[in-house]
């Protein structure tokens, strides 16, 4: 599985990198970035990523096979 961020929809609330700093970071404007873009995530990381997906007010984070 991979984490995908729709950068067009992200407005920088920061919940993802506040809740799951192991997977997410921010750019200079506070928009979400992946720490390891394009990397496959482990089963433990999928559970962590789901926290970010569930807490994103713009629904711009998703998990894809």
Reduced to 3 states, what is the DSSP secondary structure of residue 17? helix
Q: For 55, list phi and psi in degrees, rounded to 5.
A: -105, 5
Q: What is the pLDDT of residue 46?
A: 95
59 touches 9 (CB < 8 A): yes
* Residue 55 CA, distance from chain mean position: 10
Task: Give tens-digit pLDDT for 11-23.
Answer: 999 999 999 999 9
- Asked whether the whole model's pTM tops 0.85, one would answer yes
Question: What topology is assigned to 2-64 in CATH?
Answer: Alpha-Beta Plaits (3.30.70)
Reduced to 3 states, what is the DSSP secondary structure of residue 18? helix
CB neighbours (10 Å) of residue 54?
Answer: 11
List all residues 6 or more positions away from 38 whose beta carbon is below 8 Å from its beta carbon. Answer: 2
């Amino acid at each position: 599985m991979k984490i995908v961020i729709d950068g067009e929809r992200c407005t920088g609330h920061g919940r993802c990198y506040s809740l799951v700093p192991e997977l997410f970071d921010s750019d200079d404007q506070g928009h979400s970035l992946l720490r390891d873009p394009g990397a496959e995530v482990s089963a433990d990381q999928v559970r962590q990523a789901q926290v970010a997906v569930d807490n994103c007010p713009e629904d711009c984070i998703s998990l894809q096979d």
